Amino acid sequence: MEKEVHLGKKINILAKRIHRAIDKEASKYGITGVQGRILGFINHNSKNRDIFQKDIEEELDIRRSSVTSVLQLMEKNGFIERVSVSEDARLKKLIITEKGARIQKSVYDFILDFEKSFRDELSEAEMNMFISLLDRLSNKISE
């Protein structure tokens, strides 16, 4: 009798291993994986628009109270700054500092190399099929 394969479990294990590898790299720079993802989001999106705490909450699907404490720590450690906007002094846009940008680039370079190692493991056809299957399963869950 063939052993039953649990797809959700295999996907979860792969996702956790990826997150652990990225978290381990981020820790070399004194940040957590979540802080690294926040730095990446701010860095990649602030060129086109102002980024606010609400954007982080929505993008990373993290509760407001959790984001507040993470951002306060990131500001204290000099990775980001909160700056008032002229339209509403209560609103604080998030700006990545030079220190934060350097760290974000190092972690992002690691992620690119990590993803390249995945791509190198699969043929182009396998990679296209893998992405197609991931998208299809993800869309199935969204229905």
The predicted structure's pLDDT at residue 1: 53
Distance of CA 126 to the CA centre of its chain: 25
Q: What is the average pLDDT score of the chain?
A: 92
Yes or no: say if 43 and 104 are a contact pair by the CB < 8 Å rule: yes
Q: Which element (helix H / strand E) includes 84?
A: strand 80-85
CATH number (3.40.50.720, 3.40.190.10, 2.60.40.10, 1.10.10.10) of 8-122 reads 1.10.10.10
Q: Which amino acid is at 7?
A: L
The pTM (predicted TM-score) of the whole model is 0.80
Q: What pLDDT digit, counting tens, does each position of 11-29 carry?
A: 999 999 999 999 999 999 9
Distance of CA 52 to the CA centre of its chain: 16
Q: What pLDDT digit, counting tens, does each position of 61-96 carry?
A: 899 999 999 999 999 999 999 998 888 878 899 999
pLDDT band at 113 (very low <50, low <70, confident <90, very high): very high
In the chain, where the domains are located: 8-122
Checking DSSP bridges between strand 80-85 and strand 88-96, what pairing results, if any? antiparallel
Q: In 69-82, which positions are buried (b, 16+ CB within 10 angstroms) versus exposed (e)?
A: ebbeebbeeebbee
